[in-house]
Amino acid sequence: MDERYSVYGDDPDWCCRFKKAGWKVKFTPDGQIIHYGGQTTRQMRREFKLQLYGSELIFMKLHRSRLSFFIARFLIALFLFVRVPYWLVTGMLGKRQGRESIATAKTYLIGAIYCIVGWENLLMNKNAAKKY
């Protein structure tokens, strides 16, 4: 497994590398895993949220063209940026825990900025980002 993926994105990377090596990637719905969601991510929500988008960019950088990587950075930034006003308004109106909504807006804004100027800052493992 590629160490640059702290969490999120390592399985698509693995499948892509298998396919490039000439192996077949197969899916079977027979296995079952009980995942108690959010046990780890609950403690560091903002970091994990940004890591998710950072992992997508790692994948694009490793497996797609420079142009695709640039477009992905722009689209993820746009995706994050358009969410900022919603969470700000929600926070100001006091719905859904006002402070948490404002913090979510801040996370999305920071993520959008990082996508444009320093996407490596999205990653929880900064040392892994240096391996590019």
What confidence tens digit (pLDDT) does each residue in 57-73 have?
989 998 999 999 999 99
Using pLDDT thresholds of 50, 70 and 90, give the confidence band for residue 79.
Answer: very high
Higher pLDDT, 75 or 26: 75
**Residues 80-90 pLDDT 10s:** 999 999 999 99
- Name the token pair of 69: 């990587």
Sign of CA dihedral 17, 21, 27, 31: negative
DSSP letter string over 96-128? S-HHHHHHHHHHHHHHHHHHHS-GGGG-S-HHH
Helix axes 98-116, 45-63, angle to 10 degrees: 20
Residue 32 makes CB contacts below 8 A (sequence gap 6+) with none
DSSP letter at 1 equals -
pLDDT at 85: 96
Higher pLDDT, 29 or 74: 74
pLDDT at 129: 57
Name the pTM for this structure: 0.80
Q: Counting Cβ atoms within 10 Å, is residue 123 exposed (0-12), middle (13-18) or buried (19+)?
A: buried
